[in-house]
A and B are shown apart, each in its own frame.
Chain A
């Protein structure tokens, strides 16, 4: 724990927002920082949860402990809706209380003696959980990196996909696509290279698809669209950003039967043991909600939520058009990744906050590869996003974005 350098990124951003509110109690502060969903959940989903809940007061409707792996109907629905053509069995789907918990349970599974590679930049939980479990070694101030972690730089210069031939072998590769924070979705070709890289190196990919529903083009929505992925990849996903379940807590992890440790032992057996020992299942009420999400009405409802946030992204992208600002993402994910060459990301964060009262996230929070970048989340009420786009357009118009020589 001592090796962690700061507090977890998002509570830090919360604290900045709180402090700013305190200083400027009369300003309308707009948060495009923490990727928190804002729009109400469609009734087809919440009514299912409230019905299930009321039934818990009846003898017929009462449910005690559920299977730790999740409600069978829900596991089946997830397999059917998201993995029909791949295929993934319901027995390979483990329902959880969300990706952040799944990532830690996977770290518990993998233990402290494995080596890990992460995209740089990436969602902080991969690195932080790696440090906590004891894999990461010491932090090196000069590079901003932990000595035992392999950082796979993903930036404009390499089309946001790691230079695999120059990436060291690690036991585990964490890969998020569409990516938080860069918003980039890997192409089929790129993921084929990744799967081949893992296969050749005897590595396991932990593939995070929390934002797959935001994909606008034909980029793969699941790693299992790639042949051979079942032998090398675990997939983690979530209802948070597609159904507004950030507070309700529901997600899932897929561990294919074919995935083996190097001694041939099925990873799924060990993961199942961890789930049974260190967890007691996602809330039955949340799972009832999940099942409703996957009804035909529910799927439509989730699409409408995703479309809303994608429209927010479009509004922001359009607002910054012709300003000379280098914008990435926003097309396949609810995040814009803005490049401010030559500038420190906390400086840009502070300038944006002071001049527009908008909370963003400094790119350095996602890894050294995030320096010079700012992440803008495209969650938010439409009115706030429109207001934010005006304020930011005003600010960016006054900035120069020439790259330093």
Chain B
């Protein structure tokens, strides 16, 4: 995407290219959060404020705060929480945990890191254009099935990656759907890796954590991130929950192995970022994060209204900062190129998220309000 954008900018040096492509946060981080980090950073110059190596699993206070803020009613404790430098790194460490001998299922469409890390780990076979990688079970998520896989036609795999609210479709699974997913995993002895990076964007009463589903603690790991709530895309902070109850098929606790990986292959998230995380979870910080999320949700609303008014089938945008627009019969890279050439707006072609993304384009709702409004104006102008 970056390459195409750069080429375009060379061709049209005077065009004001607007990026609604990569899901990068744009709004400044609320002061309550940055001042806590600045204080911690400067404090490292003092005898009392200096800290060296931290616990690889994360600072105790932050782990406790994450547990009490997000998981108090589902009985996930602080020692089930592993603080990280973000979801992408966690996914790779989870792949190292699982090893090359496991089979995996992903939603089709999904965040590319699940598939790419699986390939790197050696879990897959060769790629086939239009079909994806051999040995990966692609669970189709389309408008026709309400963006939830038909589990009765999904083959058993050891690991199931499930992102809800979903990147790129924006679809959030219902309580009923997740209950079926948990049962499916239970029946098959599978582990769900549940990515909840966009949970705070949920507008209705859909579950924000897989652990709201009874029985999930025996089958699921949850990955989460401060990136899209606090603008921490550059600061780097997230967490993974591995419940004590989660065991491998031989009864060995998964958390023990994950802990070993965290201690050996990682050395903890940056202590400054962790101070920021703690500030994020103060009452003021949570309020501030809600406001940031609210801002991007308003962007999404504007984008949804624009494409809907132009007669497109539009999905997502209400529970996630992504809008999933259907261009039936067209190739998504062609649509991407046409949009870029005619409106100077960068989007993301749906096929980049899996074979099921063909014919779709993802429009990200991150961006300064003025840019989002201008992009929408250009869409309207071009399509009318």
Q: Footprint of B on A, CB under 8 Å?
A: 1, 4, 7-8, 10-11, 34, 36-43, 45-47, 49-51, 53-54, 56-59, 61-66, 97-98, 100-101, 103-104, 108, 111-112, 124-125, 128-129, 132-134, 244, 246-249, 273-274, 277-286, 289
Contacts and interface: CB of A to CB of B under 8 A. Distances in A.
B25 to A, nearest CB: 5
A46 B44 contact: yes
A36 B52 contact: yes
Given A108-B96, A112-B100, A247 B268 contact: yes
Contact of B265 (A45, A58, A101): A101
B264 A108 contact: no
A104 B97 CA distance: 12
Nearest to A67: B2
Contact of A57 (B28, B43, B86, B116): B28
A40 to B, nearest CB: 4
A285 B272 contact: yes
B51 interface: yes
A247 B51 contact: yes
B89 A54 contact: no
Q: Is the interface of B mostly helix, strand, loop or mixed?
A: loop
Interface centre among B30, B52, B257, B264 (most CB of A within 10 A): B264
Q: For this complex, into which size category does the number of interface residues on chain B fall?
A: 35 or more
B102 interface: no
B273 A46 contact: no
B53 A34 contact: yes
A43 B270 CA distance: 18
Contacts of B88: 277-280
B89 A64 contact: no
27 contacts: A4-B260, A7-B263, A37-B52, A45-B45, A49-B272, A50-B41, A53-B34, A53-B41, A56-B234, A57-B35, A62-B27, A64-B25, A64-B231, A65-B233, A97-B236, A98-B267, A246-B53, A247-B51, A247-B271, A249-B85, A249-B271, A277-B120, A278-B117, A280-B233, A281-B234, A282-B236, A283-B272
Contacts of A101: 89, 265-267
A1 B28 contact: no
B48 to A, nearest CB: 9
B10 interface: no
A285 B273 contact: yes
Given A7-B263, A50-B38, A280-B236, 15 more contacts: A38-B52, A41-B45, A43-B42, A46-B45, A50-B41, A97-B236, A100-B266, A247-B268, A249-B271, A277-B88, A278-B117, A279-B89, A283-B235, A284-B236, A285-B270
B42 A47 contact: yes
Interface in B236-281: 236, 257, 260-261, 263-273
Contacts of A47: 42, 45
B26 interface: yes
A283 B91 CA distance: 18
B236 A132 contact: no
Contact of A129 (B22, B35, B85, B264): B264
B159 to A, nearest CB: 15
Q: Is the interface of A mostly helix, strand, loop or mixed?
A: loop
A58 B52 CA distance: 29
A54 B35 contact: yes
B360 to A, nearest CB: 22
Contacts of A43: 42, 45
A32 to B, nearest CB: 14
Interface of B: 22, 24-31, 34-35, 37-39, 41-47, 49-54, 56, 85-86, 88-89, 91-92, 96-97, 99-100, 113, 116-117, 120-122, 231, 233-236, 257, 260-261, 263-273, 368
Contacts of B260: 1, 4, 7-8, 132
A104 B53 contact: no
Given A56-B29, A59-B28, A277-B116, A246 B52 contact: yes
Contacts of A103: 265
Contacts of B116: 277
Nearest 7 CB-CB pairings of A with B: A278-B92, A284-B234, A104-B265, A247-B271, A50-B38, A36-B52, A64-B24
A278 B85 CA distance: 11
A280 B273 CA distance: 14
A285 B37 contact: yes
A65 B85 CA distance: 13
Contacts of B26: 62, 64
B265 A53 contact: no
A56 B370 CA distance: 20
A360 B85 CA distance: 30
B267 A132 contact: no
A129 B266 CA distance: 10
B96 A132 contact: yes
Contacts of B85: 97, 249, 280, 283
Nearest to B26: A64
A51 B34 CA distance: 10
A283 B264 contact: no
Given A61-B28, A62-B27, A100-B264, A249 B45 contact: no
A244 B234 contact: no
